[in-house]
Structures are given as structure tokens and as C-alpha cells.
Amino acid sequence: MKHSVSRRQMLATLGGLLAGLASLAAARTARGAVKKVLVTTKAPRGYDPHQHKWLMCFDVDKCIGCGLCVDACKTENHVPAGPMYFRTWIERYIIKKPEPGSGKTRGEVLVDSPNGGRDGFPPTTVPREEILKAFFVPKLCNLCEASPCTQVCPVGATFDAPDGAVLVDPNYCIGCGFCIQACPYGCRFLNPETRVAEKCTLCYHRITRGLKPACVEICPTEARIFGDLKHPVENDPIQAFIQKHRVHTLKPHLGTEPRVLYANLDKEVR
């Protein structure tokens, strides 16, 4: 069998390949367009993630540790009931007085979070006279600008949305748990029912409808403040909060650049 390819044949093959490539791209665009029309989600229309940049702030002094936010979050997002599964939770810090003459500014630091604070906090066993100070710290996804959890995902199932939310695509998550280990704030867990990683979505189904996240809606003391940096409203609570308080983030040395800001945060909080 003799093989000889003429210049004409080679050019025709190359041209055909190029045309095929071009038509594939066009077909893909068309498929996307058709899918957009045919696949109907109940998602609210007209929400453009590029037009928003969400931010969450906490005033630690205002948190009274009632745990209503934890309960609301579980109800709103159908989070599994077990004591290990939380999208948001509250920690109680009790800092004891230092031993007299020990030369320290503070004694032992006790941190507890029974059932994430969902049922409130029982009275502490530490006698009042031994407590130097005590406070509650609400926690959730820190909305990192440089999120470690999205960097480690081997299948690209978790991502930073343009509006600042860090979301998980449950259809593509393989449940490997890398992101759970990568999150320095412990904000992710593996859902035992769906076997995919889950985390705070900022109640994405609520904020896209113009509602506040459930925890913010339910917080009785306005310890949680939620807002949009791209659309400040009149007397914007976020702007007022940042203006009024000296704000801090959790673990700033990690370079994750969280967009969850805390006012009146203590050095012991990690």
C-alpha cells in the first residue's frame, strides 16, 4: 500500500478540521442557549451576581449567645440535625482570672459550644468570682477573598461567586473532603445524607430574593449585620458599622482576606 498525500488533500483535511472546530464551538454556544431556555429553575430571575458584593459583620459585644441563629440556619437550610453539622455556630469564651502573682494577664481560657449553641448555653460551672471576662463569638464562613477551600478542590466543584459567596456545586462535588481540611475556620462539613461538602451559602436562596440571611433575620440584638458593598442603602448599616468600630478579621496572618468583620474581638478568639 502506497501512501502519498498531495498538498491539496492535506489542505482539505486541515481546512475540514478547522471548520469542525469552529462548528463545535458554535454548537456548544447554541446548546448553552437552548439549555438556558429549556432548563427551568425556580431561581429568581434578574439577579446578577456581578452587581453585588455581600459582606457580613459581627459585633461581639451584642451577641448574647441565645443560639437562635444556629437554630434558624438549620431550619432554613435543612442542615442535618447532628451536633457536628453547622453552617453557623456560636462559641462561648470564658477567660479565667490569672493566678495571683503569676505575672500573666489572664488565666485559663475555656471555650465551649454545646450543640453549636443551638439550644442556648447552660449556666457555666465556673464560679463568677473566677471569671475575668466572658463573651460569645458567632462564626460562619469567612467569605475569604483568597479562599483556601476553593484552591484545593480537585474537581472545581467549589468556587468564589462574583458576589462574594463561596458556594459548592453539589452535582460535581465528589465528597473527598479536601476543602473541609483546607478551611482554617472549620466552616465546612460533609453532609451525611448527600455525601457532599456543605457550607454557609449566605442563604443564597434568600439574598437573591432580596431577603436577609436567616441568621441575620432572626438575630434579636443585631449582632449580625449583613449588606451589599456595591449597593449601599441610605444609612447603610455596613458603612455605619465599619465607621463606628475598629474591625478585625479572624486569623489575618493566613492571608485569606476574610470579608467577615468582627468588632470588639478578643485576641484569644481563633
Partner 1 sequence: MPPQIFRLVLLTLAIIVSYIIARYLLTPASFGQYGFYRAEALAEAATPEPVFAGRKACLECHEDIQEKLLKGEHKTIGCESCHGVGREHAQNPDVKLGKIGDSGCLRCHEDNGARPAWIKVIVVKDHYRGDKCAGCHVPHQPNEVP
213, 226 contact by CB (below 8 A): yes
* 37-56 positions binding partner 1, by CB under 8 A: 39, 41-44, 47, 49
Q: Which residues contact 231 (CB under 8 A, 6 or more apart)?
A: 51, 52
Contact status: 85 vs partner 1 (CB under 8 A): no
CB of 66 to partner 1, least distance (A): 5
Question: For the window 245-264, what string marks contact with partner 1 as x by the rule CB under 8 A?
Answer: --------------------
Range in contact with partner 1 (rule: CB under 8 A) among 138-146, 155-163, 183-191, 255-263: 155-163
CB of 132 to partner 1, least distance (A): 12
Range in contact with partner 1 (rule: CB under 8 A) among 100-108, 134-142, 184-192, 247-255: 134-142
Q: Which residues contact 18 (CB under 8 A, 6 or more apart)?
A: none
Q: Which of 56, 63, 187, 242 binds partner 1 (CB under 8 A)?
A: 63
Max distance between CA atoms of the chain, in angstroms, equals: 99
Cα dihedral across residues 217, 218, 220, 223: positive or negative: negative
Stated as kind and residue range, the H or E segment containing 224 is: strand 224-228
Q: Which of 15, 51, 108, 172 binds partner 1 (CB under 8 A)?
A: 172
Contact status: 162 vs partner 1 (CB under 8 A): yes
Distance separating alpha carbons of residues 147 and 258, to the nearest angstrom: 8
Contact status: 156 vs partner 1 (CB under 8 A): yes
Count of helices and strands (H, E) across the chain = 7, 11
Q: Which of 46, 101, 122, 154 binds partner 1 (CB under 8 A)?
A: 122
Q: Which of 79, 141, 187, 214 binds partner 1 (CB under 8 A)?
A: 214
Residue 34 DSSP SS3: helix
Contact status: 159 vs partner 1 (CB under 8 A): yes
